[in-house]
Amino acid sequence: MAVTTTSAKALHRRAAGAADHPKPKRRPAFSAAGEVRVKLHRNACGVLLELEDRRPNGPRVVVVAAFTRESSFEDWCTNDPLRFEVPIVHQHVRREAASLWQSEP
């Protein structure tokens, strides 16, 4: 049984529907310690979120999620523990996502 991995760029291209779309705007956000990195991308399907959590002397956790509706993104933000761990990053992500939802893909 073969195991395959998919990069975030490939997921973004797949979510956009074709590889010929213009390169998305990347909007990184960092925690004060530089341990959490969040990128938001706007595409024709909605918003793609990439969250990378680097832990000192531990594993690196990467979460990639695609949101097709603003309400589903808001539900995720409401339930995400990031809002307690690094509230400044959480607020930044919500503001950036709100502007992305209003922009054209």
Q: What is the pLDDT of residues 56-82, one digit of tens each?
A: 777 888 989 999 999 999 998 888 877
Above 50 in pLDDT, residue 4? Answer: no
Q: In the prediction, which pLDDT does 5 show? A: 43
Q: pLDDT category, 42, cuts 50, 70, 90? A: very high
Domain ranges of the chain: 26-102
Q: In the prediction, which pLDDT does 86 show? A: 79
The angle subtended at Cα 88 by Cα 85 and Cα 92, nearest 5°, is: 120
Q: What contacts 48, CB < 8 A, 6 or more positions away?
A: 8, 11, 12, 15, 24, 40, 41, 42, 64, 65, 66, 67
pTM: 0.62
Rounded Cα distance between 59 and 75, Å, is 27
Task: Quote the strand ranges of 1-105, DSSP E.
Answer: 29-30, 36-43, 46-54, 60-67
| Torsion of Cα atoms, 48 then 26 then 34 then 87, to 10° | -60
Ordered alpha helix ranges (H), 5-86: 8-16, 70-79, 82-85
Average pLDDT over residues 29-55: 79
Average pLDDT over residues 28-38: 62
